[in-house]
A and B are shown apart, each in its own frame.
Chain A
């Protein structure tokens, strides 16, 4: 873009150097710890103790299979994928349905109901963790998949409903009206007109929720105690706490946990950054 070009003389060279330094420092601060983590995961404990930051003399991948087995990564991955996929699909479906009703069907209830979701954007998860824990025990959902899934869906709804309502509002009323005149029911209209049109907002929601739920720790940590229901963050923390002095395996476990999200990010970089800025809603 020509019009975006800057006259170089506008910026003092010292300023430019300063700016480069800042950016480079941040980059190094991100890449170096990850590099250190990776090379440390290739060392045996004996080597790690002798050689804290250098490249391993005899790199070995032996830490990976044993970390995978000890931390039960297959269970962790299955659970993380399950909670992420199911909660994201439900959030998208529920948000689109309610967003359609709020945006296109007149009702006196809308102000109150929609408003209650908007307040929810500001609510912190922390404020409900104790009551949720007590309630889940009282209704028998403690230590069950459903008991984790329902709060995950509830957590994602406020922002989901906000984005969906705004998006569906921007679809012209005449689209819905003419379908009504042709005799289509609201469910028909939702399924065959609104839902297909709402793809962009569904993608935004998917991006926001996948990273949110995949990395969620606090709720699942208090709502579940069985090994069989643990997700990656819970399992990794348990493992790394229990084997704090077993550096090689601990770092291998951290690397295993880190890789999927980094790949996901590198593939969907554009969508993720768009999703993040769309999700940054004023409270």
Chain B
């Protein structure tokens, strides 16, 4: 746009007024708290007035050390890792498979299957968590089926610290595969059908079409899906809160739940909770950078 001198003041005023509401709200509740969280994690603040409180002192990285020495931090981190693995190596390939199968009309009633497979994503995670908790509980259908297969089977899924994470991982796989299916499906539909048809006329097999045309065309989307899956798995909270509450013996805790417990259960420890959240932010940025780096180095054509 050409800039004419006497427009200038109005232009500037308009700009500022237009961005003001968004910027004010966003900085107040997202950007500032993120920075504030880091500052708090370095202090000894634990209740009382938060602004202008003379008793707050900087204590350095003490809380970070304490966190790294806490076994529940590592248990939570491990569970986040498991969720991440299920997301990246379970949801994404399965989502792709479903998208491919529906897009290429390998199954009939593709529309119906698509609707049902995505359905779990629209239901509140809390309801999903309670429903599956009942489903896997000793009075749920899962126990009944297992006892049909194996009379006398005792359901200890939610009591055994080793096993309790399994139903959670299953539900996570079940719940979010649909999202990736939708994303892949939308992008498969963007590929020019003429391109595929031409390849087929030239004698390419369906497999070659998949590997040589579709996967390269989707490489960017696959990276996006990985980033979504990774950041999504660091966010897990609601489902675990509703399904297991992190128990038994906090063995199904995740970082967000570990932070919640630190800040809001028993005696609150706000600086430690903030240290956890800072580590979560850094982790997610670091992993996303790694994905980006891998993409830049080994990435396919787009």
User: Chain A residues in contact with chain B, CB under 8 A?
Assistant: 1, 3-7, 10-11, 16, 19-20, 22-23, 26-27, 29-34, 36-37, 48-49, 52-53, 93-95, 97-98, 100-102, 104-107, 109, 113, 116-117, 120, 122-135, 137-138, 150-151, 153-155, 157-158, 161, 173, 176-177, 180, 185-187, 190, 211, 214-215, 217-218, 222, 232-234, 236-237, 240, 247, 250-251, 254, 257-258, 261-262, 264-266, 269, 272-274, 276-277, 280-283
Whether A27 pairs with B40 at a CB distance below 8 angstroms is: no
Whether B131 pairs with A33 at a CB distance below 8 angstroms is: yes
Tell me how far the C-beta of B6 lies from the nearest C-beta in chain A, rounded to whole angstroms: 12
Contact with A along B1-38 (1 / 0, CB 8 A): 11100010011101100110111011111110110110
Tell me how far the C-beta of A248 lies from the nearest C-beta in chain B, rounded to whole angstroms: 12
Size category of the binding interface on chain B: 35 or more
| Minimal Cβ-Cβ distance residue in A for B110 | A23
Tell me how far the C-beta of A170 lies from the nearest C-beta in chain B, rounded to whole angstroms: 16
Tell me how far the C-beta of A12 lies from the nearest C-beta in chain B, rounded to whole angstroms: 11
Q: Which residues of A contact B177 (CB under 8 A)?
A: 26
Per the 8 Å Cβ criterion, residues 178-235 of B in contact with A are 179, 182-183, 185-187, 193-194, 196-197, 205-207, 220-221, 223-225, 227-228, 231, 234-235
Q: List 22 A-B contacts (CB under 8 A).
A: A33-B141, A48-B139, A53-B144, A97-B22, A130-B263, A131-B33, A131-B34, A131-B40, A132-B33, A134-B50, A154-B25, A157-B25, A215-B123, A215-B125, A218-B238, A233-B126, A250-B130, A280-B224, A280-B225, A282-B224, A282-B227, A283-B227
User: Chain B residues in contact with chain A, CB under 8 A?
Assistant: 1-3, 7, 10-12, 14-15, 18-19, 21-23, 25-31, 33-34, 36-37, 40, 49-51, 94, 97-98, 101, 104-107, 113-127, 130-132, 134-135, 139-141, 144, 174, 177, 179, 182-183, 185-187, 193-194, 196-197, 205-207, 220-221, 223-225, 227-228, 231, 234-235, 237-238, 241-242, 255-256, 259-260, 263-264, 270, 273-274, 277-278, 280-281, 284-285, 288
Please report whether the interface of chain B is mostly helix, strand, loop or mixed according to DSSP: helix
Q: Which residues of A contact B107 (CB under 8 A)?
A: 19-20, 23
Tell me how far the C-beta of A206 lies from the nearest C-beta in chain B, rounded to whole angstroms: 14
Whether A261 pairs with B122 at a CB distance below 8 angstroms is: yes
Whether B174 pairs with A30 at a CB distance below 8 angstroms is: yes
Tell me how far the C-beta of B151 lies from the nearest C-beta in chain A, rounded to whole angstroms: 16
Q: Which residues of A contact B186 (CB under 8 A)?
A: 273-274, 277
Q: Which residues of B contact A48 (CB under 8 A)?
A: 139
Q: A151-B29, A257-B127, A280-B183 are in contact. Are A26 and B139 (CB under 8 A)?
A: no
A11-B106, A126-B237 given; 11 more Cβ-contact pairs under 8 Å = A6-B206, A19-B101, A20-B107, A27-B116, A33-B131, A36-B141, A130-B37, A150-B25, A186-B18, A211-B122, A236-B127
